[in-house]
Amino acid sequence: MKKLQLTWTVLLLLTLLSGTHAQSVLSKAEMIKLADRTLDFAARQYKHMAAAVPDSLLPRSTNKDGSLMTSTSSWWTCGFYPGTLWYLYEYTKDDALKQEAVKRMALVENNKYNTRTHDLGFMMYCPFGNAYRITGDTTYKTILLRSAASLSTRFNPAVGCIKSWDHGTWKFPVIIDNMMNLELLTWASRESGDPSFTKIATTHASTTMKHHFRKDYSSWHVVDYNPATGAVVEKKTHQGFADSSAWARGQAWGLYGYVMMYRETKQKIYLDQARHIADFMLNHPNMPADLIPYWDFNAAGIPNVPRDVSAGAVTAAALLELSLYTGRKEAKRYWGAAEKMIVSLASPAYLAKEGGNNNFILMHSVGSLPHNSEVDVPLTYADYYFVEALLRYKAWVK
């Protein structure tokens, strides 16, 4: 084990020395072996997780005392664990992983009627979307269509967006995270033949593109609107360092969301937006050499601040897909950056040891540092997008 860790340390150092935007130091064959080895580990780790989490709960993170943090199905991350299980079942064909996914989805299903959250894409599309894609069971399709209808109730035509939160003193808050929930709607239009779902998604994406981004393509976290007129009331942060800063996971949500919206609509404005966001991140002077971002690109104290592995995992998955839609030079750059992120995430610096880390796959994510919540801990969504990135790599490598 020590020899293996030393080997990975050397590989990671070589990667860091190779330049921020250079290709991975590993060959394609070595990268595939890395992906397989990491996915094999992830499957074993999640079987340990299945045995550790109470039947009525879902894994979320790690508590400050080091114990497992769980959630009920009402928490916004409830869909990531069963969603990851479906990905791992797809890779391994291990029926135990499938059965665990089905068992936990039973806890989540009633959210199809939930009209109090914008997070139904995370909560429902990640698990049930993967389940339907893999099995073809139309029961899952029915659940997803009901979920899309529930999400649609939060759309305000005057604003042109889906409302994110019902709490606080906001009038009509919209957060950049909401870009991730639009895929449920585009999927629903495709499956049902009802174009209204996609119309909501494209209107939200275009409104967000207009108001959420600065000239350099960094993003505000929260834009609050007047619900009657659609006028912008204020632009703030909730989880970032400052209102004017670039919260790393927010940048990742935006990147992933616009890549997805281009795939779903083929509207070039969304592809251009994704490219600009990717370039902002990759060219940022505070992007670390291993391409795993600090929790905020403008955080005070860099480099002595926490990384956010969840932002790295989401970005890696997004960059792999973005590379499919761009010219050869750009594609090579985006693919190479994603490879470097994967190599970094699969190194001992970020990858857990089997049976450790409360059985999560990745270490060192940040939920909300300003609220001292989930700082330098595993997060269930970091695992989900990392596994997605590994599977995408294997499927798309040439």
- What pLDDT digit, counting tens, does each position of 245-261 carry? 999 999 999 999 999 99
pLDDT over 60 at 8, yes or no: no
pLDDT over 60 at 30, yes or no: yes
| Domain annotation covers residue 325 | yes
CA dist 44 and 32 (Å) reads 18
- The boundaries of the domain holding residue 35 are 1-50+249-353+362-398
| Domain annotation covers residue 338 | yes
- Minimal CA–CA distance to 178: which of 146, 147, 149, 212? 212
CA 228, 196, 314, 72 dihedral sign is positive
pLDDT at 237: 97
pLDDT at 165: 97
pLDDT over 90 at 42, yes or no: yes
| Domain annotation covers residue 87 | no
Mean pLDDT, to the nearest integer, of 140-153?
98
| Domain annotation covers residue 128 | no
Q: Which residue has the tokens 């929260």?
A: 222
pLDDT at 15: 43
HSE toward the beta carbon, residue 293, CA cutoff 13 A: 31
| Domain annotation covers residue 79 | no
pLDDT at 3: 42
pLDDT at 203: 98
Q: Which residue has the tokens 């649609």?
A: 152
CA 22 from centroid of its chain's CA atoms: 24
- The residues near 4 (Cβ < 8 Å, ≥ 6 apart) are none
| Domain annotation covers residue 314 | yes
Active site residues: 119, 177
Please give the C-alpha separations between residue 362 and each of 349, 387, 391, 392, in angstroms, as whole numbers. 9, 10, 16, 18
| Domain annotation covers residue 26 | yes
pTM score: 0.95
Mean pLDDT, to the nearest integer, of 121-137?
98
Q: Is the peptide bond before 370 cis (omega within 30 degrees of 0)?
A: no
| Domain annotation covers residue 127 | no
Regarding beta strands 68-71 and 58-62, do their DSSP bridges make them parallel or antiparallel, or are they unpaired? Answer: antiparallel
Helix/strand/coil for 234: strand
pLDDT at 338: 98
CATH number at residue 34: 1.50.10.10
User: How many structural domains compose the chain?
Assistant: 1
CB of 101 closer than 8 Å to CB of 89: yes
Torsions phi, psi for 97 (to 5 deg):
-70, -40
CA 166, 383, 368, 311 dihedral sign is negative
Instruction: Name the pLDDT band for 25 (thresholds 50, 70, 90).
Output: confident
Q: Which residue type is seen at 79?
A: G
| Burial status of residue 313 (CB atoms within 10 A of its CB: 0-12, 13-18, 19 or more) | buried
pLDDT at 24: 60
